[in-house]
Amino acid sequence: MNEEEQKLNEVLMLFYFGYRTFTEKPDQMIEKYGIQRVHHRILFFIARIPGITVNDLLSIIEVSKQALNAPLRQLYEKGLITMVQADYDKRYKQLYLTEKGKLLESELSHVQHEQMKNIFTSLGGNHQEAWIDVMKELSRVRPGQKQFQALLKENLEK
Amino acid sequence: MNEEEQKLNEVLMLFYFGYRTFTEKPDQMIEKYGIQRVHHRILFFIARIPGITVNDLLSIIEVSKQALNAPLRQLYEKGLITMVQADYDKRYKQLYLTEKGKLLESELSHVQHEQMKNIFTSLGGNHQEAWIDVMKELSRVRPGQKQFQALLKENLEK
DNA sequence: CCATATAGGTCAATATGGTTGACCTAATTA
DNA sequence: TAATTAGGTCAACCATATTGACCTATATGG
């Protein structure tokens, strides 16, 4: 096996281990709320796009509506999100974080922010930019990512 | 929200989308073999450390032995791995890929290699090095990663 | 105004992925 | 010989997701 192959194998391994570390802390934190990683993802995306509809949210996360429904209801029951009938079309339900939800989401994001920030600053240079560039290339093809960008743009224009 | 926070939120999102793209192709490829991502991980680590024992493998992947047992048996039944009683201690079972297993593993790794290599070369500069540095920092704390490094070193010394 | 489409909810069946606890055999070691 | 270790297996449980089918409410186009 040549050196490039070895390096690429290291990349595969690092992706596995890196992602595991990345999700570890929030996973532990939300345990005591009786929720899981899906719920965290939902909170994250609602925080980025307040007022997002159910359909848009499931397009972003790329799961079926049945898979989203239960976690969404659980978040509602735990008082972490609210659902508001849209006045421009009563079929749509708009999702928002409650104050409690905002607090939890920001705590979870904060932990991950700190973790990544510490690494980026300790490595210095343009490590952050380079890492982002690589991950953007991977994300480019995701339908969910495209949907997210479109909604973000819409939100800014309003 | 300040600019740094926004950038860090982008990082969180990119990790989710990036990992999804990264695992997408192998997931599709192994479907027709009737196996899943766990099996792929097992094949990957056996390929890196031929003759690894069951216990060492589960330390690396960081799952319970019960979670590893079924996939391991399935891989054996499909003729992708072999299990050999170790002659230095008959309690240990050493795992190897069969020719068929080697072929599949290399196909799966190849797809991911190409995917990452294309991104690294298209971005150029030291994007690969920088990306690896960041992921290494995240992986550093993983018990499974430490175990993997120790076994790799052992293997080289033999 | 009616037919159709859309947003969302829900039930059921199915599969996968993982956990912990308990208990077993075989082999090794103190 | 007793205790430990590697590995296997059973059971109960829980979470994550799928597809298919069917429902209501609302909106919209002919």
Note the pLDDT tens digit of each residue in B83-110. Answer: 999 999 999 999 999 999 999 999 999 9
Nucleotides of C under 7 A from a protein CB: 6-13, 16-22, 26-29
- Round to a whole number and report the distance in Å from the CA of B87 to the C1' of D8: 20
Helices A37-48, A65-77: inter-axial angle, 10-degree rounding: 80
- How do beta strands A93-97 and A52-53 pair? antiparallel
Please give the structure tokens belonging to residue B64.
Answer: 């319970």
Taking alpha carbons only, the member of A95, A110, A85 closest to residue A45 is A95
pLDDT of B24-60, one tens digit each? 999 999 988 889 999 999 999 999 999 999 999 999 9
| Residue A145: strand, helix, or coil | helix
For residue range B50-71, what is the model confidence (pLDDT) as tens digits? 999 999 999 999 999 999 999 9
C-alpha dihedral sign at B32, A68, A113, A152: positive
Q: Which domains does chain A have, with CATH numbers?
A: 3-157 (1.10.10.10)
CA-to-C1' distance for B146 and D25, Å? 56
Per-residue pLDDT tens for B109-152? 999 999 999 999 999 989 999 999 999 999 999 999 999 999 99
Nucleotide with minimal C1' distance from the CA of A61 is D17
Amino acid code (one letter) for A43: L
Cβ atoms of A11 and B132 within 8 Å: the answer is yes
Residue-level pLDDT at A93: 96
Is the distance from CB of B101 to CB of B43 less than 8 angstroms? yes
Mean pLDDT of A90-118: 96
Within 8 A of A8 by CB-CB distance, chain B residues are 109, 112-113, 116-117
For A98: left if phi > 0, alpha if psi spans -120 to 50, otherwise beta; the answer is beta
Nearest to B45 by CA among B114, B117, B120, B101: B101
**Quick one: angle between helices A127-139 and B99-123, nearest 10?**
120
pLDDT > 70? residue B158: no
Q: Which residues of B touch A145 (CB under 8 A)?
A: 13, 17
B119 or A158: which leads in pLDDT: B119
- Cα–Cα distance for residue pair A21/B44, rounded to 1 Å: 19
User: What value does the mean pLDDT take over residues A17-34?
Assistant: 93
